[in-house]
Chains A and B, each alone.
Chain A
Amino acid sequence: MFSYYFNLGLRSLRRNPVLTTLMVMTLAVGVAASMSTLTVLRAMSGDPIPHKSERLFVVQVDNYPADTEEGEDPADHLSWLDAKELLRAGDGLRRSAMYAVGGVTELQDGSNQLVSGMAVTRDFFAMFEVPFRFGGGWSAEADTRGADEVVLSDAFSRRLFGETDPTGKTLRVMGRDRTIVGVLDAWQPLPKYYWLVGGSNRFGETDDVFVPLQNALVNELDPNGNVNCSGEGPEPGFNGLLNSECVFMQYWVELKSAAERDAFRQRLGAYIETQKSLGRLPVGERSRLLNVQEWMRAQRVLGDDTILQTLLATGFLLVCIVNTIGLLMAKFSGHAGEIGVRRALGATRRQLFQQYLVQAGVIGLAGGVLGVALTFAGLALIARQSEEVAAVAHMDATMLLLTLCAAVGAALLAGLLPTWRACQTLPAIQLKTQ
């Protein structure tokens, strides 16, 4: 009977075309408003590496001074002093200390191009499952030695070399002639969770280049981001920075399982105690070990304005549903005669309830189709807010399907009361008044 009801629903769209259009528009606008904001919310709050996010941890070693106020979060970054020790300890399955670097790339025609990059250890690529189009990461030996090597992002490589494989070529990047060992495939985690700190573009493009951390340190590549120093400032020079309590690094570790977290935390606690005995880390006990989702929450990746927008849009959808209830009441009241006839011809109340609920669903489906189109328009509008939002304001297949389901669901919800009311029609009265 469902196909019969569906067919009747399609035909009923033509009846009361003004009311039908109003309902379809109401649902479409309500669904589009909520789905476009929900798309952004989902993209911003989504898990960028779901199969692994429980095993990837950012380590926050708090080196704030003793007079730090209670309740204040530990520093987002850590110092090279701590990053160095953590790397040396070699704890966990994979690990990488990293910091943002910047500079210029000297092109063959003599022109320079500004580049943004990350100084990372080789584990970075396997830990974050970075895909490669050509080549791969550098070797362990190159990692230790701090070789003049570089990995290019997909977009950067295409800009410089087009579709050709540039691995093995030399490129002068950040003052060094570097051998290109790898080119990433398309990779743009949203958000860019491995580097959410230091005013980074969280939803921006992947960094242009990746260089070995040791190479960056040896060549004194300055941090391209926030450097926070508590207490006395660093000694002059790059080595002064490295030997200071200034924080500018991020440290990520991959554990074999989420269950190893406590054990790692204990070892981290032991390290902090050792450092305390050496007169460092006076509030080191506030140090944290956060997995990907926890880190994103701590960094407030999902802004309050996004949440507020979504709540308002959802409220608007509710208003649209309430309006649709009224419109459906009006539409179904015009069907009282037909309901009476169908009852007389043998339809049960349940069958009529199903028929009219499917009819409401068909209206919802029409609203959903229009709603999808409006959602695309809504996302285009939202994308104009900022580049960051533009990066996530894209509808995928899941959200498209969800939009259709939301419209049908909203229509079914709105249709419950009018359908129930319609089915209470006493056929004898309706037949007499026909």
Chain B
Amino acid sequence: MASSRRSGRVRITISLLLLSAVLLLTLDGRGSGPIQSVRSAVLTVLSPLGDAASSVASPFRNAWNSAFDQGDLKKENEALREENDRLKGDITANSIAKEQLQQLLQLVGIPFVGDTPVVHTRVVSGAVGNFGDRLELDKGSSSGIERNMPVVTGEGLIGKVVEVSENRSVVSLLSSGTFKVGFSVVGTAAIGIAQGTGGDASLRGSNIDSRQAVSVGSIAATSGLAGSPFPPNLPIGTITAVRTNDAALESTVDIKMFANLNDLVYADVVLWKPAG
């Protein structure tokens, strides 16, 4: 009797907790303010402590990484040697290509960030969870950073700010698939929506009018259409594959991001907010 009463209580407790979790998920999905505020407050409190602990743990972390990543480091070293040799031969060709690229970008009107002010930041840590899709930057609201501002490197868009405290901000990476970005294909009238695939630096672009001629090798940049959370003309990546569905009059593309998301050290937050 007591046992059945007890198991009944356990079931009720578990059900109530599950309902609470679903309620929290719903509130967060609707962009509830208090949850964001609490997350920011926790970030503010923990960041300095985390920095101190990171400094103390640094030698141990390096030893750990060298122990578990030695195979990868060897492969990476060999790859870098090969690449170095190849790059030496490419220097001359690249200097010419760079000049041509600059001319091309000017021609199609991509000023990159242009006159929009940016905040230069340092990446202080990667993901806390195991479904890592975030970076932590060493500057926050005291430097003018706000939620949803775009984050770029010298190569292109990498993500957007999702959490801000006074001296820290958290960036959700574009490759993670947690948000979408409107893009246009440079040199064409094609526009579409790109989203991360959860893999490294690869995006899937969809909703492209199949009547628009999109070719492999074209450049995708943010479209900046009305209501877009990103300014226009931030380079995103190169189109690596195009698939056309004639029945649906729609094309989908694969995009390889320009920005290298591995071992990011610095990133710029573009102080841009959508109009209205």
Is the A/B pair a real complex?
no
Q: Which residues of B contact A (CB under 8 A)?
A: none
Q: Which residues of A contact B (CB under 8 A)?
A: none
